[in-house]
Structure formats: structure tokens, C-alpha cells
Amino acid sequence: MKELMISPGKRLEACAGFVRRGSVAADIGTDHAYLPVWLIQQGICPKVYASDINEEPIRLARKNIEFYGISDKVEAFTSDGLQAVPKEMVTDVIIAGMGGDNIVTILNEAPWLKNETYRLILQPMSHTERLREYLFSNGFDIIAEKAVCEAGRLYTVICAAFTGSGVIYDDFDLYAGKHDHSDPVAAALLGKQAGILRSMAAGYQAKGAPEQAMKYAKLAERIQSIIQNQKPCEEENGWQE
Ligand SMILES: C[S@@+](CC[C@H](N)C(=O)[O-])C[C@H]1O[C@@H](n2cnc3c(N)ncnc32)[C@H](O)[C@@H]1O
């Protein structure tokens, strides 16, 4: 019988793209378990732990895991962050589709991640700059970032690991991240980021805070300058906030 293949979408496929082949992964906040199913079906992981803080997503995850016939390869269970995840069994940890601050909280509550064995694949929905700051100031470094455009929305996926050696960073690193500037999707994401920073600058100017306004205006200009020769992402017209 032909195996039924899942189609998780570009955002989750980009997350999977950073998972090391042959690794055992943990998908935190798995919801429907689309990513674990994809990781098994693509032969990227022999085993995946799929956890979620809520019962209902885990019920749905188990249903999908059973539907795709991979109950022996994906273990689904409730867990607040990484609390119930067997740290000695996993090497690659994915946290996708959550706010940046929630991701920071989850990472902060799992100090065992401060070990070079682990790879972190993080896909924040907000406050990405605060997540990058947490990583840089806690001994992690960003290996790479991948920008994705799905259904008219732009996302970034961060691949990070603990190095123990402090990273020197500035506001540009926090807001621009570590994208490949020749990638048109990354250019579109950075162009959007520059626009947000320009709006922040205008807000500070209106509030009578010229120094802050200048800081964000300069950041916007610096980000814009690295992408000025890039074509925008094809799906740019469908952007949503
Ligand atoms: C929007 S869904 C994202 C699902 C999937 N990871 C994705 O990117 O498509 C967020 C999921 O994270 C779960 N979640 C939120 N906080 C969590 C935490 N502290 N620990 C584990 N799961 C959490 C929610 O229950 C929800 O199922």
C-alpha cells in the first residue's frame, strides 16, 4: 500500500531543514504533530518526541501519528516546555509557532540545553529580537537563519547551539538576525523589519524622545542598506500583519 505523505507547509519544512539527519528530535508545542510526522516520513529522524502543554493538542497529535502509521516512532505526551522531555534521549529541539518570550521562558527553564550536544531550532511568532538577545547573552550562538514566506506571511527560523563563548552583538544583530542577504525571502523579511523600525522611530519622535527616534531610524537605515539591491519576495503582495 502506498504510504500517505503529510504536507506540513513551508514554515515547518524550513524548521525540519535544520534538524540533523539521524538525530532524535523533540518538538515542543507540537499541536497537531505535523512536524514529527514529516521528520519521520522524510527519514530525517528515526524517533521524535512530540510534547505540548495542553491535553487537546496531544489528543490530536496521537490521532495524526496513528493515522500516518508511525506510533512506534513518535511519542506524544503533555509537558510544560521541556520539563518531561528525556534530555538524555534527544539532540535536536524544535520550538515553533510560539511567541519569542514564551520560547525564552521554555529555554531558560531547561539549563541542560547549555551543552554543545544540542541543536535548537526556533521559530518565533513575535519579539524575535528578544529571543536573539537571550541566546547571545546565555552562551548560545546563531548558526543560521532561514526566512520563509507562507500564505502571505513572513517568518524566520533560527538554528542555534550552545558554544559557551560569549557572542559580541549589537542592536543590528538583534533586529537583522543572521540571514543570507542574497535570499529574496530574507530581503523581504528584512525590508519589513526596517519598516517596523521606521514606525518605531516615528513613534518616539512624536513622543518627544529624539534620541530613541534616532537610534531606531539609524537601525532601519542600516538594515535597508544591506538589502537595497535585492528583489522582493514573490509572495510580498500577500503580506499580513
Ligand atoms: C500555535 S501552536 C504551534 C504548533 C506547531 N509547533 C507549529 O508551529 O505549527 C502553539 C502550541 O504551543 C503549545 N504551547 C504553548 N506554550 C507551551 C509550553 N510552555 N510548553 C509546551 N507547549 C506549549 C500550545 O498548546 C500550542 O499547541
CATH of the domain at 45: 3.40.50.150
Q: Report the separation in Å between the CA atom of 40 and the middle of ligand 1, taken as the mean of its atom positions.
A: 20
Q: Are residues 157 and 188 in the same domain?
A: no
pTM (predicted TM-score) = 0.95
Each residue's pLDDT expressed in tens, for the chain with a length of 241 residues: 457 999 999 999 999 999 999 999 999 999 999 999 999 999 999 999 999 999 999 999 999 999 999 999 999 999 999 999 999 999 999 999 999 999 999 999 999 999 999 999 999 999 999 999 999 999 999 999 999 999 999 999 999 999 998 899 999 999 999 999 889 999 999 999 999 999 999 999 999 999 999 999 999 999 999 986 556 555 544 433 3
Domain boundary among 173, 203, 221: 173
Q: Are residues 40 and 128 in the same domain?
A: yes
Q: Are residues 110 and 198 in the same domain?
A: no
Specify the number of domains making up the chain: 2
Q: Are residues 83 and 137 in the same domain?
A: yes
Q: Report the separation in Å between the CA atom of 164 and the middle of ligand 1, taken as the mean of its atom positions.
A: 28
Q: How far is CA 163 from CA 2, 111, 123, 137, in A?
A: 43, 14, 20, 11
CB of 13 shorter than 6 A to ligand 1: no
Q: Are residues 97 and 154 in the same domain?
A: yes
Q: Are residues 96 and 149 in the same domain?
A: yes
Domain range spanning residue 191?
Answer: 184-238
CB of 76 shorter than 6 A to ligand 1: no
Residue 143 belongs to a domain: yes
Q: Are residues 214 and 156 in the same domain?
A: no
Counting every residue written for the chain, the total comes to 241
Residue 5 belongs to a domain: no
